[in-house]
Amino acid sequence: MIPKEILSKVRRIEIRTGRLVQELFGGEYRSVFKGRGIEFSDLREYTYGDDIRTIDWNVTARTGRPFIKKYVEERELTIMFLVDISASGDFGTVTKPKAEIAAELCSLLALSALRSNDKVGLILFSDRVEKFVPPRKGRKHVLRVVREVLYYRPQGKGTDIAAALRYFSDVIPRSCIVFLMSDFFDEGYERLLKITNQKHDCIAIQILDPRERALPNVGMMELVDAETQETALVDTSDREFRNRYETYGRAREERFFSHLRGTQVDVVPISTEAGYVDPLIYFFKERERKFR
């Protein structure tokens, strides 16, 4: 039996995100997640603004002019959530931890998929794959996905994005829409992400807390790395230390965006402080412009 307080929290998230689906995202969902189809239809010459991932390189080499493949659009999409549930997801200093933001994002996007009669699936991962929920339809299934993101207790504490992508490739053979949600405190996954994006439509959602970028001046503080359990006693009144901390945070983010530029994966940066509505609206508008 699922405790009543868990069901109540999942229900509150459903209500909150359900309103957003109706008010902001309902009508734009299909135009943004068009998918790349499963059936080849025709070739046509490339025009500015086309997705370069659809270029047929054999025909392009033969003719000396770029051509793209046209596909019959899938009537039914599959949405997969790959959600990082490593120990760092429990961190949150504003209103909610990063894991709860991820659960709300899954709810919002899954309810949008539900309105379009699409399937939704889930892979939870830490430094290993923790749980796989196969893609299905229906409201009860969507609520299960939200519940798993919120309350599943992982065995691992670290992060291995590459392992999650390898597992995903094994269990989901057909093209789908992939939302990879993490703080991306990991290295060495970029090549696999690029390969995955060549077959699927991948969107990276980076969820960070403002204290992972900068520290306030609050005197002595013990910092604990949630994934390694390493601790350090620091003096946040030391301006030089705070500057070094902020410089490190900026460099880490710049490295992340630099790595993902080569994968051609769209990135949606989310802060636990600013919320996810405005970044998602911007993402939707940019996606709609791209597919226009």
pLDDT score at 37: 47
Cα(268)–Cα(62) distance, integer angstroms: 37
Long-range interactions of 282-290: CB distance < 8 A, separation 24+: 283/203, 284/25, 284/28, 284/32, 287/31, 287/32, 287/33, 288/28, 288/31, 288/32, 290/49, 290/51
pTM for the predicted model, two decimal places: 0.79
Structural domains of the chain sorted by starting position, each given as residue range(s) with its CATH number in brackets: 4-26+76-291 (3.40.50.410), 39-72 (no CATH)
User: How confident is the model over 45-58, as a mean pLDDT?
Assistant: 79
Closest CA to 235 of 225, 222, 246, 254: 222
pLDDT score at 183: 93
What 3-state DSSP class applies to 56?
coil
Residue 123 pLDDT grade (very low, low, confident, very high; cuts 50, 70, 90): very high
**Maximal C-alpha separation, the chain:** 67
Tokens of 11: 């229900």
